[in-house]
Structure formats: structure tokens, C-alpha cells
Amino acid sequence: MLEENYFIKSKTVLIILLITLVAFILRIIDLDVRAIHHDESLHALYSWVFMKEMTYIHDPMTHGPFQFHIIALFYRFFGDSDFVTRLPSAVFGTSLVITPLFFRRWLGNSGMILASLFFALSPSLVYYSRFARNDVFIALWTVLIICSILRYREKRNFVWLLALSAVLALSFTTKETTFLTAAIILLYLNFLLAYRLIFVHSEYSLRPPLKLIYLLILFPFLWVTTLLMPIKRFKLRVLLNDPDYDLFVILGTLTATQLAAAVTIPIAWLSITISDESMGFIKFSVITILLLGVLCVGLYWNYRRWLICFAVFSAIYFLLFTSLFTNLSGFDSGIWGSLDYWIDQQDVQRGEQPWFYYIVMLPIYELFLIIIGFCGAVYFLLKKDQNSIFLTWWFLGTFISLSLAGEKMPWLLVHLTVPLVFLTAKLLGNMLDNNVYLSRASYTIRTITKLFTPVFLVAITLIFMLVVSLRVNFSNASIPTEPLIYTQTSPDLKLVLDEIEIIHSKKETPIYIETAAALSWPWAWYLRDYNVKYVTGDYFSLIDFSARPILITNKASVPGSMFETLQYARRVQYRHRSWFDESSYRSITFHSLREKTFDGSLIIDGVSFLIYQADESSVGSLYGEAYLPR
């Protein structure tokens, strides 16, 4: 029996490793064919400068420093190119595929294999594994955070608290969505501990309705118990023996060190005007109080363990935010600036998406994950499977918080897809394991029919994923005819770049690029080794045209008076970037939704879009002009 189990485990590991290899190949094929996106070019250029000059200054606008460090490291080993720029995302996206091995006890063998397959083929995960953004990095960190929590709850091994501390630090140095993840997990632990205090550890015989009232009263304030634990007669000290309380302390104290800038929220609500000097004092005071507070809580909880966890977290955090001690001010921009900037951006509402944005996006790209994953969440909730309830809370918390957030973007779909993968794999894996066992016991029509259902669901899910992934990442990758692509640099830009490279192979021609409408990106990346000046339109009259420079401008922005001086050049019009036309779903109202539902056009339109997508003529575009020496 032991030998059989070992054989099954070894076979499962081998299958997952093969799936991981296929996933890596899918992520690196033609990785550099699509032109670098506007955002990618910022990440690429700053990473390249960091690699060349060991200079990087953290800017909260471009999120955490981890991405720039990892891309710069890849440049150091493999050179700077479009392919290498996206390679870290491909590697991290592939690493997601192997993470189900950490969830073996919960998922089972079939569930692990299915989760790996879903990670490997998910359209949104594949797309952003081929894109130089930090969302795939965050997805991996979040999975490892969840893994550390589940594994610590099983055996209460200190190693998993260390892993949690390290991964949490990496997550905070990657992107501000970590605040949402930490809040979702802490709320779960908070509720769980409050429930146990009222329903399990209570010394009084209370009726269920009264217990529920007490639970609702205690829930918002349970975190205060961490401050009251030193009081020996405090009755809630029973929590000290609960592994979830250990997780609550570690996750809570380490996250609290990042919350200083939250003080700006009540200041903004009260419309208080504060001078820069006073704000500096407030900033220093709040950070100091928070650090002293978490120090007291951690030392009382378990001073040896907490100090080790805090040291691991702080070392990673400080090294990355200070760019390996080359930018000490990065510590301030991290511990205060990250959250401060993120709070400000909620009012900006970049993207201006409707509240139902993710309700529209999920069925387009993760149709069967959302359907089967939702069924799995309900089923395991009824079964009272604690880990499944935790992952359902993770998905729902992420969905609600991202839907309420001011900025809604397609790359945030990654954060919703990951928990759905686990819930779907858990349900289908259980169905397969149970029905395979029954089929082996008795080969009857009934047992074979039961086995057919999960096999069919797995097959249709994988076929859908594969077809949509190939469409998004290869067929439609360069032209945004679907919302996941959102906006994309046109292939025309690379054609102009080819001509510029031919000209520069002969002589050092000066290049002037107009900065209006963000035209300078991604040119700043592609022309990083060239003699380039970025200018506004009113600078054109000051250019020395005797050197026969190259001019790249917005369409028709060159004044007519300049055409005579540009006789040496030929004008090449090109499409600089394109974006998906969002008017179709933005115009949805409750009334129109009801009508479309009853007349059946909603389903027809949805199926039509899945098959044909939007027409290329519908995409919006920004056009540019390049004036190249003949």
C-alpha cells in the first residue's frame, strides 16, 4: 500500500512537472513579437538604467521596486531586449503552475493536476505572464501566503511563519494590492477567532441569538485583544494557544508597519490643511507609534519568534526599497509613500470602469472557472470544508474590494482568477477521485455515467481555456479587439523603428520626439541608445534642420511653415497605439440588461463576442508621423 501511494505521488509530481514545462513553452513562444506596451516600456527603461548605473529611485506611481530589481537582474545575465524584459513574468507565471504541489493534502492528486493545468492555460494568467507587469509576481506571492497559512494551521511549524514573513515582505515590495490581500486574510482570522471565543471558549451558557449578537459586537474590536494580552486576568488569553492567533499576530503586526499613511484619510475627510513641516512631524510620529506598538505586541506574544520574523521581513523590505542601499530615501517612499499614493489614486478612478466591470470580464476569459468555481464554493461551504471556505472568502473579498476600488483594470483579473483555479480544481478533483474509485469497485452504467460528468467538465474547461488563450496571446495580441488587451502599441511602430535603425547604421542622426499624448513611450525604451531629445510642439522652431534630424510627432501637429525645411525628409504616417472600444458594455443599464435577458439577446451577443470578438475597425487609435531622411 505504501509503495502504491509513493508511486501515485511520484507520478503526480512528474505530470505536474511536464505541465509546467508546457506552460513555460506557451509563455515564451514569440514573446518579443508584440511591440512593448506603454507601461512595459517604463518598467523596462528604469530597470535598464538600474542595471547600467546602479541607480533606481522608488516611485509609488510605478508600484513597488521588486519588478525593477528582477528585470535588471535578468538584463545583467541575458542582455536587454523585449524578450528579456518579459522573461521574469514568464518565469513567475510558470512558477504558479507548480504551486498546487504545496496544497496536496487539500487538493488531492487529481485536484493538483487540474489546478496546474488551469494555471497553465488560463487566458488571463497566460496573457499577463507574457507582459512586463507585476501582477503575476503578486499572484505567486499571494498563493505562497495562502500556502504558508494553511500549512501552519496543519502542523504549527515555525518555518511557515518565517515563510509568511518573507513572502509578505516581497509582496509589499511588489504592489499595493497587498494591502487588500492582507486585509481580507486578517478579517477572516478576526472573524474566526471571535467566533471561537463566543461559541467555543465562552464560559457562559448563552442562547444562539444572544451569541450571534455578542459575535457581531466583538468582531470589529477583536484586534484590540492583542493589546490586552499582557493583563493576566484577561479571559481572552485562551487565544494564545490558537494557531490562527499566531497567524493573526504575525500578519497583523507586519502589515501594521505599512499603515502609517492611513492617517491622511481622516485628515482629508475633515478638510484639514496641514503645512509640509507639520505633515513631516505627523508622518514621523505615526510611523514611530506604529513601530513601537507592533514591537510591544510581538515581544509579548513570543519575543524570539516575532523578532526573527520581523528581522526577515525588514531585511527584505529595506534592501529592496533602498535599492540595495543606493537609495536610502526609498525607505520613506515605501513605508509612507506607497499607501499614500494608492489612497490618492482611488479618487482619480483611472480607467473609469463601471462597478460591474469584473462581472463582464470574468465570463469572457474564465467562463468555466467562474461557473464551476462558484458551484465548488457553495458545495464545500455546505460541507464545512475549512480550507475551501477560506479560499472562497479570499475570492469574494478580492472581488468586492476590486469592484469598489476606484481603479479597475484588466490586469487585476489575475487576482480573481487564482482563487477560482483552486476552487474549480478542488471540486472537479474530488468528483474525479470519488467516481474513479467507484468505477474501479463496480463497472456499471451508473458509475461510468457519474465519471463522465467530471471528465466532460474538465475537457470543456480545458478546451475553452486553450482556444481563448491562443486567440488572445497569438491571434489578437497586437490589436486590441478584446477588453483583456485594453490598449496596445501598434505593430507599425516597429516598422518605423526598423527604418530608424537603418539610418543610424550610417551616421549619428539626431532624433526629436514630441511628448504630447505620451508619444515618447515606448520610444524612450526602443531608442535608449540613440541621440534623442524629447520636446514639446513649440520647440520645433528651435530645431537645427541642417543636421537632417528625424522627427517623430503627433499626426498633423507639425506647422505648415516647417514643411519647406522638411523637404529632405519623407513623411511616414503610422499608428502609434490602439485601444479597445468599451462603449458596448459601458452603456449597459439595469433597464437594458433586463430587456436583453428576457429577449435572449444577452446570450446571443455574449456567444457572438466569444466567437468573433470586436471588429478591428472599431478600435480607437493614436496616430503619429515620422519624418525620416530620404
Among the three residues 205, 227, 256, which one is the final residue of a domain in this structure? Answer: 256
Q: Is residue 116 predicted with pLDDT exceeding 60?
A: yes
Q: How confident is the model at residue 343 (pLDDT cuts 50, 70, 90)?
A: confident
Choose among 409, 613, 616, 477: nearest CA to 127: 477
- How far, rounded to the nearest angstrom, does the alpha carbon of residue 28 sit from its chain's CA centroid? 19
Encode pLDDT of 136-164 as tens digits.
999 999 999 999 999 999 888 999 999 99
| Bigger pLDDT: 167 vs 244 | 167
Encode pLDDT of 406-418 as tens digits.
788 999 999 999 9
Rounded CA-CA distance 476/40 in Å is 18
Q: Record the pTM.
A: 0.91
Residue-level pLDDT at 2: 44
- Which residues form the domain of 186? 176-256
User: What is the DSSP track for 297-329?
Assistant: HHHHHHHHHHHHHHHHHHHHHHHHHTTTTT-TT
Q: Which helix (H) or strand (E) holds 28?
A: helix 2-28
Q: What are the residues whose beta carbons fall under 8 Å from the beta carbon of 467, sequence distance 6 or more?
A: none
Residue 385 in any domain: the answer is: no
Mean per-residue pLDDT for 341-355?
A: 76
Mean per-residue pLDDT for 508-517?
A: 87
Residue-level pLDDT at 4: 46
Residue 412 in any domain: the answer is: no
Residue 570 in any domain: the answer is: yes
Residue 182 in any domain: the answer is: yes
Q: How confident is the model at residue 452 (pLDDT cuts 50, 70, 90)?
A: confident
- Express as a percent the part of the chain with pLDDT over 70: 90
Using CA of residue 374, residue 380, residue 381, residue 382, what is the dihedral sign?
A: positive
Encode pLDDT of 256-301 as tens digits.
999 988 888 888 787 777 777 788 888 888 889 999 989 988 888 8
Mean per-residue pLDDT for 506-512?
A: 76
| Bigger pLDDT: 521 vs 217 | 521
| Bigger pLDDT: 315 vs 555 | 315
Residue-level pLDDT at 202: 60
Residue-level pLDDT at 167: 97
Residue 576 in any domain: the answer is: yes
Residue 43 in any domain: the answer is: no
Q: Is 543 strand, coil or helix?
A: coil
Residue 295 in any domain: the answer is: no
Residue-level pLDDT at 407: 84
| Bigger pLDDT: 449 vs 233 | 449
- Express as a percent the part of the chain with pLDDT over 90: 51
| 424-445 exposure pattern, b = at least 16 Cβ within 10 A, e = fewer | bbbbbbbbbbebbebbeeeeee
Residue-level pLDDT at 234: 55
| Bigger pLDDT: 437 vs 105 | 105
Residue 383 in any domain: the answer is: no
Q: Is residue 29 predicted with pLDDT exceeding 70?
A: yes
Rounded CA-CA distance 475/301 in Å is 56
Among the three residues 209, 229, 256, which one is the final residue of a domain in this structure? Answer: 256
Residue-level pLDDT at 318: 95
Region of poorest pLDDT, from 337-346, 395-404, 513-522: 337-346
Among the three residues 223, 256, 289, which one is the final residue of a domain in this structure? Answer: 256
| 447-460 exposure pattern, b = at least 16 Cβ within 10 A, e = fewer | beebbeebeebbee
Q: Is 257 strand, coil or helix?
A: coil
Region of poorest pLDDT, from 186-190, 207-211, 320-324: 207-211
Region of poorest pLDDT, from 485-499, 509-523, 601-615: 601-615
Residue-level pLDDT at 443: 61
Q: How confident is the model at residue 592 (pLDDT cuts 50, 70, 90)?
A: confident
Residue-level pLDDT at 71: 97
Rounded CA-CA distance 621/304 in Å is 59
Encode pLDDT of 214-227 as tens digits.
777 777 777 777 66
Choose among 22, 3, 371, 305: nearest CA to 157: 305
Q: Is residue 92 predicted with pLDDT exceeding 90?
A: yes
The total of structural domains in the chain comes to 2
Q: Contact 551/558 with Cβ under 8 angstroms?
A: yes
Computed over every residue of the chain, the mean pLDDT equals 86
* DSSP β-ladder status, 511-514 and 550-554: parallel
Residue-level pLDDT at 130: 96
Residue-level pLDDT at 615: 76
Residue-level pLDDT at 401: 93
Encode pLDDT of 47-88 as tens digits.
999 999 988 998 888 899 999 999 999 999 999 999 999 999
Q: Is residue 507 predicted with pLDDT exceeding 60?
A: no
Residue-level pLDDT at 205: 62
Q: Contact 56/65 with Cβ under 8 angstroms?
A: yes
